[in-house]
Amino acid sequence: MTSPVHLLAGPNNSGKSNILAVAQRAIGALSASQALELEDVDRPLRASDDTERQFSLAIRYEVSEKHFPDLAADHALIGHLEYLCGASADIRGNPPGFWLQFRLNETNRLVPDRNQLDRLVEVANRENALEVVGPAAEKITGTRGGGISGNSETVFTQLHERLQLELPEVQTIGAFRKIGEATADAHGQFDGPGLISRLAELQNPGFVKPQLRKRFDRITAFVKALFEDDDARLEVPNTRDTLLVRHQGRWLPIDNYGTGLHEVIILAAAATVLTRTLVCVEEPEIHLHPTLQRRLIAYLSEETTNQYLIATHSAHMLDSENASLSAVRLSDENSVVDAAVEPAEVALISSELGARASDLVQANAVVWVEGPSDRLYITGWLEALAPDLVRGVHFEVMYYGGSLLRHLAAYDPAVNEFVSLPRINRNFAVIIDSDRKSRYARINATKARVRDEITKNARSVVWLTNGYTIEDYVPPEMLARAVSAVYPEASCAWRGDKYQNPLEARRIRGRTSAVDKTAVAREVIEMWSELDLRDWPHDLRQRVGELVKMIRTANG
């Protein structure tokens, strides 16, 4: 997994739940060196009763200096390990490692896959590699003589022991979650009833393990974020038959809140009670608003120590920056799992889950600007004020060709189209050059109408520039340096009058043609970090702050 949270997304009956079941049963059997019990339903549909059932599992081993002190001094050993691991090498990952494949033997125990071991011998004997692989095998495992050829199983058995693979405990949280009274058989459950006693231990850990209280405090912080209430609290009463939630000054049992809040608290609590565990979760999105889904994924990734394998039908989870993703599809009665990394692959899964382009394929917030140079300024200023906001995830900057507004009447049909922007995304901002040439000048009727119509949407922001154009927000000396960086032979004569166009041809000395505004904007943004926030000109900091607020609201 490339992230602590990995999503298995696919339509109903594609095989997601089976993957979770296999993860729990197979990893548990391998960890305990026990037989993997197979049932009749584990037989392929078209297989006859006497068909030998086969099962394979790949586990990634991490390689570090604690396993191989020689790695620090002998970099050639890395290459030797690649030979040992064959096509399953992942040595240059971070941390380095390799995938060892296991298969079921005649007693249904998972043992190193003979086919992989044979391939390793084949690799070792190819291209005279045996000369380096044999000594490497001896060096790594401590064996003497024979190298790897004919002795691969011994080499890998000892390699396995030396790496001391520690498989995580595996726990499953089912799709039906409800807090209830603790029962004798609830101790191993994490979908509600078994949680209360564990949370009580974290809430009041006693003198011996005071650090456990910090985990309970993390759940409390999550509850505060859910309710957007700094005084919100979670508490286990002495009756241990429910959870109490304090919100808006009142203590109420968790059942008195919406089902979505009820379930997301159960999931967060279970994830915090468990540590360093592979947690398999069935459909966490049930009853959860999309905002709660994203907050849950962020909490799991950032505030807990587990890894998560989550089966989901929710398209709303797919754009989470805190999770990696695989698509699960049913093909010829087999479940096929494909990694989804590229945007097109994510969009394909979204469509398979029934999401329409009008539902999903848009940024959470859109900032409309007049042209490419404005886009550079706005993107750079947003990054300077709120570096955690990611363009393409939290917002996008688009341009509409603002100079066209100058040639339109206030009630032109094209203006009607422009003020329909909320149909594209209701969370948006529009930035318009005022074109005012003096303090007392008014904006034209078209711009006034655009401003007035768009501000009727409470979620939108309209920003009319304080001066003539957006370049008036750039300090004169910085703009002059940017012009000279693009055109060494030219200089900018603008001295800071905000009712002038700083890049107008008559203010650029040494050039007879217009300057490239986009190239100048790129240079300005490169220099922008030199400015303290307090030195941002005019109302720039306030205006960019309004954009940040709108984007944060759009992203929940």
pLDDT tens figures, 305-321: 899 999 998 877 876 77
In this prediction, residue 523 carries a pLDDT of: 94
Choose the weakest-confidence range: 99-103, 189-193, 445-449, 534-538: 189-193
Choose the weakest-confidence range: 119-123, 189-193, 323-327, 496-500: 119-123
User: Is 343 a residue whose pLDDT tops 90?
Assistant: no
Query: Per-residue pLDDT averaged across 181-209, rounded?
Result: 68
Using an 8 Å Cβ cutoff, are 218 and 272 in contact?
Answer: yes
In this prediction, residue 479 carries a pLDDT of: 94
In this prediction, residue 127 carries a pLDDT of: 42
| Averaged pLDDT score across all residues of the chain | 76
Q: Which residues contact 114 (CB under 8 A, 6 or more apart)?
A: 103, 153
pLDDT band at residue 555 under the 50/70/90 scheme: confident
Q: What residues pair up with 398 in beta bridges, in sequence order?
A: 368
**Count of other CB atoms within 10 angstroms of residue 251:** 12
Burial 353-366 (b: 16+ CB within 10 A, else e): bebeeeebeebbbb
pLDDT band at residue 397 under the 50/70/90 scheme: confident
Cα–Cα distance for residue pair 97/339, rounded to 1 Å: 20
Highest-confidence segment of 54-63, 71-80, 365-374, 416-425:
365-374
Using an 8 Å Cβ cutoff, are 312 and 354 in contact?
Answer: no
User: Is 132 a residue whose pLDDT tops 70?
Assistant: no
How are the residues of the chain apportioned to helix, strand and coil, as percentages rounded to the nearest 5?
Answer: 45, 15, 40
Using an 8 Å Cβ cutoff, are 49 and 197 in contact?
Answer: no
Q: Does 3 or 67 have the greater pLDDT score?
A: 3
Query: What letter would DSSP give residue 513?
Result: S
pLDDT tens-digit map of 148-181: 444 555 655 655 555 556 778 888 887 766 665 5
Query: Per-residue pLDDT averaged across 188-211, rounded?
Result: 74
Cα–Cα distance for residue pair 387/382, rounded to 1 Å: 7
pTM above 0.75, yes or no: no
Burial 67-83 (b: 16+ CB within 10 A, else e): bbebbeeeeebbbbbbb
User: Is 5 a residue whose pLDDT tops 80?
Assistant: yes
Please report, for residues 54, 84, 121, 325, the alpha-carbon distance to residue 116 in angstroms, rounded to integers and kept in the order given: 15, 10, 9, 27
pLDDT band at residue 103 under the 50/70/90 scheme: confident
User: Is 97 a residue whose pLDDT tops 70?
Assistant: no
User: Is 394 a residue whose pLDDT tops 80?
Assistant: yes
In this prediction, residue 116 carries a pLDDT of: 66
Cα–Cα distance for residue pair 168/307, rounded to 1 Å: 9
pLDDT tens-digit map of 13-49: 888 888 888 888 888 888 888 888 877 767 666 666 6
Residue from 262, 268, 203, 288 nearest 238 by CA: 203
Q: Does 161 or 482 have the greater pLDDT score?
A: 482
User: Is 503 a residue whose pLDDT tops 70?
Assistant: yes
In this prediction, residue 408 carries a pLDDT of: 47
